[in-house]
Every structure is written in structure tokens, then in C-alpha cells.
Amino acid sequence: MEPDAQLVQDCLRGDGPSWEELVRRHARRVFNLCYRFTGNSTDADDLSQEVFLRIYKTLPSYKASYGAFPTWLTSVTRNLLVDHYRRTRRDRLTDSIDDENAPQLEEKPSAMRSPDKIAEAGELSAQIQEGLAQLSPELREAVILRDLQGFEYAEIQAVLQVPEGTVKSRINRGRIELAKILGDMGLRPN
Amino acid sequence: MEWNCTLTEDRLSDYLDGTLSREEAAAFEAHAATCAKCAKLVADVRGLVTRMQKLEPLAAPPMLVTRIVNATTGPQKQSAGWKNVLAWRPAVLQPRFALGLVTVAATILILMYTAGFTPTRWKHADLSPGTVLRTANRQAHLTFAKSAKFVNDLRVVYEIQTRLQPEAEPQQAPAVPQQNSSPANPQDRSQASPHPGHSQARTGVLLASLL
């Protein structure tokens, strides 16, 4: 299998199949990151497309010195997720002002009650998804990158652009909060 | 080294990652061994991390790659041939689509057999609309005839049963016939307690007439 850097070079020379291979190789990871963060498969699908459109446009500006291609790809994904979160937070705030009886909407995205959750393959996966939705965005992204995407601390540091101590602290607090949330939900992780 | 619950929470991931020094790890474990709350927290977080790291990533939507490629480099050329066909493979492999396909195939097969079309012995002529219509019509009549025969058979069985049953009824409800009948009348006596040989003969005549 060709390394990502070689595929990127081939893409920059206008090689269509190399671009398709690059997309095929990373689409699942990007979709999972988006889905775990938003909790909504439709949003995750749209965001994944948006990520690759941006990657396609900015590919000439990519340099190996930015880090490995997956790290760069994850940085772009994370930036779009943050934009999406801010955008939808404004929507949720507007909704909560319109409906005074539903002030908790911002804390629990309505997507968690959608058929997406029901259609999800595993019970554990669904419970973890519900628990993640209750974490703050900072803790959620740290836990997803570390425990669901398997990134190293240094890579997460590069993606989030925060000091290593902050990365470790967020992962630690995120794990503890998630374990407590799942415990309250009746799931015994061990 | 002094250790407490706050330190256990703060250094939990370092402990699980194995990045604590030997002394710190020993103090951590010594505290967890004596504090039930911290022991539960360590077990819960360790279990959660293990299970999350083993969790299988979700499958991306089947056409996601195709949509991305179409939106960036444009639609794929038709000359790609089998590649385009195989691009649908992940969609077909999903359980819901596979079940749907099986259901559709089973429905088509049932309709084909109902219409009298046997896949192993088909000819081009069988596919002409006239032949299909005639075969379906014939098959419908055959089905109707079989159903009618079945209902008739049921009627015969019921007829036999109802003609045999009245012989037992007078024994179960003897009150009314006993009041009206006189023991001196031989005809009434024969009706109240018929001879078994007479009953068998009647059944034989009945079966002969039905056959």
C-alpha cells in the first residue's frame, strides 16, 4: 500500500484514482469522528463531505512538516466540527428561547432521540454515544481522539493546538465523567 | 509517599497508561486498596477505556466515497465498468438491503410458481404476454378447482360425522324420549336403543352412496 504522502503527491499531479484512494482510506475515520462528536449520522455524512471538499481545495498547501496526513486531516475535521458546534449551539439557544419548557436542549442534542440511535449497531456503542453527548465539547473531542480514534498524546496536541498537560488533563477528566455518566445510566463498564 | 482521593483522580490516566513512577504507582495502588470509592473509580474507568478501545468503528455510509469523489473530481467515467458496479457492493451487503433483496426474490419466485412458470423448463414462448395470461388463468382455475374439491371433501366428512353422532345423543339426554315413549311399543324401543349391527349397515350404505 502506498503511503499517504505519495498519494498526496500523486493527487497534486492531478491523478484522480489517487485522490479516490486517499478518500477511501480515510472516509471511515472522518465519518466516525464526526458521528461521535455530533451524535447524528446525517450531520456526520454532510460534515465528512465538507471535510474532504476542504482538503481537496487546500491540498496544495499541505506540507509534510505539518505532521502526518491523518493528523492534518483530523485538524481540518476538528475545526469544521467546532464551527458546526458553534453554529448549532446558536440554533439550540434560539430553540430554547422559543420553548421555555425545554431548557435542557442545549445539553442533550435532540439527535440523541432520533432513529439514528435506534439504528445503531451495538447497545454499548449507543450508550457510549449517549454518554459522550453529555460531555463538554472539549472533553468529548479529547476522549474521542484518544480512546475511539487511537491517537497518541502528541498527535492530539497537534490537532487541538493546546499544551500536552491540557490534553492529558482533558482526557483524564473526560474518562472519569463518562464513566460516572454511564454508571448513572446503569452501565457497568467493567 | 502520601496519596489521597484527589491525587487518584488527577493521575488516574497516567496510572492506566503506565506513566507513573514506580513509587507513585505503589502509592496509588496502596490508596486504592484501602479506599472503596477510588477502587471503584479505577475499575470503572479502566473497564470503560478497554471497551472503548475495542469498540469497532462504525461503517461509513455506502455511497459517501462516491459522493465525495463526484463532488471533487467530478463523476467517474463510465469506462470504469465493473468498478462502478462494485461500488454498490457495501450497500447490498448491509443486512437491511440483503433482507429486502431476499424478500423480493422470494415474492417473485412465489408469483412465478403461482403463474405456472417453472424456471428450469422455460422457453422464450413462455414469456409472451398471451402465454403468461393463459397460464395464469389456467393456474387460477386449477387452484379454484382444488379449493372447491377440498371444501367438498370437508363437507362429506362433516356429513358422515353428523349422521353417526345422533346414535349417541339419546343416551346422553334420555329424559324427554323416556316420558313420551311407551315400553309396549316396539318401534319406539328400537329408536331409543338401536341395534349396533343396524348402525354399521347404515354407515356402509351411506359411504357407498357418497363414493
Q: What is the dihedral of CA B104, B105, B109, B114, to 10 degrees?
A: 0
Helices (H), B11-93: 12-17, 22-34, 36-54, 64-72, 82-86, 89-93
Instruction: Report residue A16 as a C-alpha cell.
Output: 484522480
Q: What is the ipTM of this complex?
A: 0.78
Which of A85, A78, A98, A88 minimizes the C-alpha distance to A160?
A: A78
With an 8 Å Cβ cutoff, the interface of chain B facing chain A consists of: 9-14, 41, 43-49, 51-53, 55-61, 64-65, 67-69, 71-73
CB contact under 8 A, B44 and A190: yes
Instruction: Verify whether the Cβ–Cβ distance A190 to B71 is below 8 Å.
Output: no
Run of H or E including A130: helix A123-133
User: What is the rounded distance in angstroms from the CA atom of residue B90 to the CA atom of residue B61?
Assistant: 9
Q: Where are the domains of chain B?
A: 5-54, 127-170+188-210
Contact B53 A49 (CB under 8 A): no
Question: What torsion do the CA atoms of A124, A128, A131, A135 make, to the nearest 10 degrees?
Answer: 170
Share of chain B above pLDDT 90, in %: 33
**Which residue among B12, B52, B71 sits closest to A176, beta carbon to beta carbon?**
B12
CA atoms of A30 and A71, how far apart (whole Å)? 11
User: To probe the interface with A, which of B65, B67, B77 has the most A CB atoms within 10 Å?
Assistant: B65
Give the closest residue to A133 by CA, choosing from A73, A11, A70, A43: A43
Distance from CA of A22 to the nearest CA of B (A): 10
Instruction: Render pLDDT for A117-176 as a digit per residue (tens, 0 to 9).
Output: 444 447 888 889 999 999 999 999 999 999 999 999 999 999 999 999 999 999 999 999
More confident residue, A115 or B166: B166
CA distances from A167 to A161, B45, B88 (A): 9, 17, 40
A153 or A94, which is more confident? A153
How far apart CA B138 and CA A173 sit, in angstroms, is 75
Query: Is pLDDT above 60 for A190?
Result: no
**Res B76: pLDDT:** 55
Distances (CA, A) of A149 to A83, A123, B102: 20, 19, 36
Which residue did the predictor score with more confidence, A136 or A8?
A136
Residue from B71, B136, B127, B48 nearest A53 by CA: B71
The CATH number assigned to the domain with range A4-184 reads 1.10.1740.10
Distance between CA A120 and CA B56 in Å, rounded? 12
